[in-house]
Every structure is written in structure tokens, then in C-alpha cells.
Amino acid sequence: MTGIDEQPAAPGGLPSEEQVLEALKVVKDPEIPVNVVDLGLIYGVDVQASGLVDITMTLTSVGCPVQDLIRADAEMAVGRLDGVNEVNVEFVWTPPWGPDKMTDDGKRQMRMFGFNV
């Protein structure tokens, strides 16, 4: 696994999309022991020249009680990257999340914790 510092930066000293995704791997749903990237919850990342990073993501359910915690964790994780001035996390519900959106690593982690995926 590569670290954030090993990922190529985007032009202008801004983080690349890969660096943002790597930073988001520290964000976990407290009810599911897998990070939001491997869960397949990240639908889009847009790094703007101004240093604004827009993240479009979903959650495993519309009524997720930890939505505010996950938003705060994502903002903090990405906000630590060089060149980031602001982070905007938008939750969307279409397309709905399903286990098919998980990475192979995410599925493996879920099976290790006894989840059937």
C-alpha cells in the first residue's frame, strides 16, 4: 500500500484525486469496520484550482445515524492535505449503495469480520 506522500501531486501543488482517496481511507463507518473508499461509498472527487475539494459520496443507508460524524472525519482527513483550503462533502442517494460497489479489499475485510458479502 502506498502512502499519501508517494502519490503524484496534481499540477499547482494541489492534491491529486488519488491522494484524496488515500486520505479518505482513514474514514470508517463506526458500525462497519471498513473504510469509506473500500466500502464503495465515494462516488466522486473534484479538486479545484482554488484548493476546494468536493467529495460526492453516499452511505450504506439513508437514515445512517453517523452521517455527521463521517462528514466531519472526511473533511478533517482531506483538509490535512497540502494545498487544500476547503472540503465540501455532499451525500447523494442515487445510485443507491450496495455491496457490489465495494472493492475486493473491502469485501475481504467484511468477510474477516464475519459479514457475508
Does this model's pTM top 0.95? My answer is no
Q: Distance between CA atoms of 102 and 32, rounded to whole angstroms?
A: 12
Give the CATH fold of the 4-112 domain: GMP Synthetase; Chain A, domain 3 (3.30.300)
Q: Mean pLDDT in runs of 10 for the chain (117 residues)?
A: 46 89 95 93 97 97 92 98 98 94 94 85
pLDDT of residue 9: 53
Task: From residue 107, give the alpha-carbon distance in Å to each of 6, 31, 58.
Answer: 25, 15, 17
pLDDT of residue 31: 83
Q: Distance between CA atoms of 19 and 14, rounded to whole angstroms?
A: 10
